A and B are shown apart, each in its own frame.
Chain A
């Protein structure tokens, strides 16, 4: 009997099981629901973003006509400058944090720290439940499907006495077990590839480097689970016990340990700076109303010495003073804001480190990273908004200090926010490596055990 025919026989037998077919079909349907939902979320965000330029133009035109003949500082108090963080096509594949974090922000020329953390309107119950996107199906459900496929590969045969017969045959039982497992893994892989392919078609994903890296991450992730499962079933427990152990491992890796890691991380790197920033920028700006005008102006001139020689009225209200005060709000929060961003960066860094130990976190982080839906992406968006805010201020300061009126300012050529252009995706070497090491270690342990297991038996 050659191995090829054994494999074919095994495959036919395995796929004939009604349960297997039901599982395959239901997971595929769930995957399709995930694709539908991901697409809904992404398309909705795109629709909202595409409506913004019109809104912005109307808003600006209205604001200018309304304030014609008045000093330019007036309309600038009302003027919103719109920024957006459009989703990549892959955001529909792994929604990540894009439902939690705002993907468009409008800011005024006032202190930015009081505007940067505004959120979108969303239903917190939905945020808590999380998204059933296709990434969830890959990261959470496919390992479970694999468990269902494999948990009794060895124990089931032992329980039914087939191994006794096999031992009397001239084939290596280890190889036979490996083949049985291979059939199961390949079945799952076919499902995964099919789902991945469907995702490309349904979500209109560009086939490119991102596809390759995503595919690599997912493949290694599934392989990693496969080796864990293969190792566990060689412990020679009963089928029921295998199921209990494997499901417990699954819960540990998908719910318990991530939950624990997240909590420890957030306690280790707390961010009271979020409140600190809020309080500091408000106080920093408002107290200036009761401070001497020139004190505030001096601070402003230290940053922008080029405006030192512009005259303005020092004993009545003036817009030069007003916007100088607003800037002081940001100055007051500079330290806490920077610390906040640093700490968020640290949280991301440590999360990646935790990922080396937990394949689930690793895979999810990488998917979010490749889809640009993670915290790091949001931080870089906020940083871009800050930069843009500075550009806008510096563009309009001359008009304010020259005491010009609304229509004298060049509104047509004011800075426009350009969503950040993505650098090419980078291959997440280290996390792929850690998945690979995981696979090798568990696979090796399984291999060792399986050899011992049949040697003793014969």
Chain B
């Protein structure tokens, strides 16, 4: 291994590509697409956030301006939360379009997150969305394939390869040099464009950009840089083992279709067929059955609630609920809410586990398909993947539970049992409740929850180095 040789080869490759008009035209087109995607990303992000803020503020305003009410009325009036999008979803929206946006929080039940973009969209959305991540994940690799498919195969066709090898250049040096040359060109061309889009976003972004967001951006840039190097490697390797440039191009195109388009879809559909998740009817049926086993707070003779009542009576040394120092019906309501929430959380955790197993199929396949590794990592680093979506739902459920239990507490301590359904209490009671605010998770959290594809990215870089050495020993001139 002579590094000077590698450098010469890389520099030559660099010059060759920059002299290639087609490569520059392709880059121009891609850069235009990237900038368009950026504009779209900014605009959508702004539009959505504006709408979300407006309605969230309206809901908060309505909450604060309720008249004096019975606390259980308030618990049914409930609260609406609109899902916040992570600041980086302009770069990689991830699940944004397919995750629900509006969630109604009320007593006794956990609702689904509704009003997803996808539900209001016709089939067009399914062709794929135009965003920066899509361009970098799907199209830039194709650009690399287009500029590099002939890099070794063409030398072989024109017999130059024989000349090079006979002059003492080793295959390892040649392939490494070529890879570095192509990767350097790609990074030199697209790096600035991506940095400009991010910089522009930083300038336009209303609000402070946290240190954590900076870290996320840095990691994203790293992941994509590694990805381009991996793609360059694949291009050079396939070019090296192909007899002709045309054959290399065809192989690369077939690989692209297979690993970038078909496998991701197939992995996900296979996952959902392998691990059947319950649909809503089955899920709710499960909840009902579990609840019936637990006890029915409406039934005065229900064993669970009878035991509960007796325990409360013993604790306060009284004979009848009327003698308790608080309103028993509010107290009972809180017990019922605790039970339903616990049952729901267990079932919901199960459901999410099933979804995770479905998604793990793609996670494991990312060791065989670099596109998947980057796609999943990018979504996670942009805080727009399944883990973040589920986390939002958990936070919302926690908020709901605390809100309802707070109101049940008011019910138990401020409502006179003799006027159980008619009495009202001051609205000051719930005006103290903090508005819903979703605290974004840290980069560390994202990485902890989605480390497999990141490891896969690293593995691909290593695999490239190994493969170059293996292939170099086996190819013929």
Point out residues on A near B: beta carbons under 8 Å. 19, 30, 33, 37, 40, 44, 48, 51-52, 55, 96-97, 100-102, 104, 114, 117-132, 136, 140-141, 144, 148, 152, 239-241, 243-244, 247-248, 251, 254-256, 258-263, 265-267, 270-272, 274-276, 278-279, 282-283, 286, 289-290, 317, 344, 347-348, 351, 354, 360-361, 364-365, 368, 374-376
Contacts and interface: CB of A to CB of B under 8 A. Distances in A.
B264 to A, nearest CB: 6
Nearest to B68: A290
Given A247-B253, A286-B77, A374-B122, 13 more contacts: A51-B281, A97-B121, A97-B122, A125-B95, A131-B269, A148-B250, A148-B253, A239-B246, A255-B134, A262-B129, A263-B129, A278-B102, A279-B59
B127 interface: yes
A278 B104 contact: yes
A351 B126 CA distance: 13
Nearest to B50: A272
13 contacts: A97-B122, A121-B279, A121-B351, A124-B386, A128-B94, A128-B95, A129-B269, A130-B126, A241-B22, A244-B249, A258-B128, A275-B51, A354-B124
B257 A144 contact: yes
Interface string B31-49: 0010010001001100100
B264 A129 contact: yes
A368 B253 contact: no
Interface in B118-171: 118-130, 134, 138-139, 142, 146, 149-150
B425 to A, nearest CB: 14
Contact of B246 (A118, A123, A240, A279): A240
A256 B277 contact: no
Nearest to B139: A251
B95 A240 contact: no
B98 A117 contact: no
A368 B351 CA distance: 30
Contacts of B222: none
B95 A361 contact: no
A37 B268 CA distance: 11
B281 A255 contact: no
B15 interface: no
Interface string B72-99: 0100111010100000000000110111
Contact of A266 (B59, B121, B280): B121
B268 A258 contact: no
4 shortest interchain CB distances as A-B pairs = A259-B130, A258-B127, A129-B268, A262-B124
Contact of B119 (A100, A121, A259, A351): A100
A403 B312 CA distance: 37
A130 B362 CA distance: 14
B272 A123 contact: yes
Interface in B262-280: 262, 264-269, 271-273, 277-280
A269 B411 CA distance: 45
Contacts of A267: 40, 43-44, 47
B257 A278 contact: no
Interface in B227-248: 245-246
B239 to A, nearest CB: 12
Contacts of A30: 262
Given A251-B142, A275-B55, A279-B59, A136 B265 contact: yes
B146 A129 contact: no
Interface of B: 22, 26, 29, 33, 36, 40, 43-44, 47, 51-52, 55, 58-59, 62, 67, 69, 73, 76-78, 80, 82, 94-95, 97-102, 104, 111-130, 134, 138-139, 142, 146, 149-150, 245-246, 249-250, 253-254, 257, 261-262, 264-269, 271-273, 277-283, 285, 351, 355, 358-359, 362, 385-386, 389, 421
B113 to A, nearest CB: 7
Could you say which of A263, A361, A368 has the most chain B C-beta atoms within 10 Å of its C-beta?
A263
A153 to B, nearest CB: 13
Nearest to B288: A59
A271 B67 CA distance: 31
Nearest to A340: B120
A259 to B, nearest CB: 3
Contacts of B280: 102, 104, 120-121
A128 B98 contact: yes
A266 B261 CA distance: 24
Given A100-B116, A119-B116, A125-B355, A351 B122 contact: yes
A125 B268 contact: yes
B38 to A, nearest CB: 12
A127 B421 CA distance: 45
A118 B47 contact: no
Q: Tell me which of B102, B121, B386 has the highest count of chain A C-beta atoms within 10 A of its own C-beta.
A: B121
B265 A132 contact: yes
Contact of A100 (B58, B77, B98, B269): B98
Contacts of A129: 264-265, 267-269, 362
A48 B129 CA distance: 31
A279 B121 contact: no
Contacts of B273: 37, 40
B269 A132 contact: yes
Contact of A360 (B29, B101, B127, B129): B127
Contacts of A48: 279, 281-282
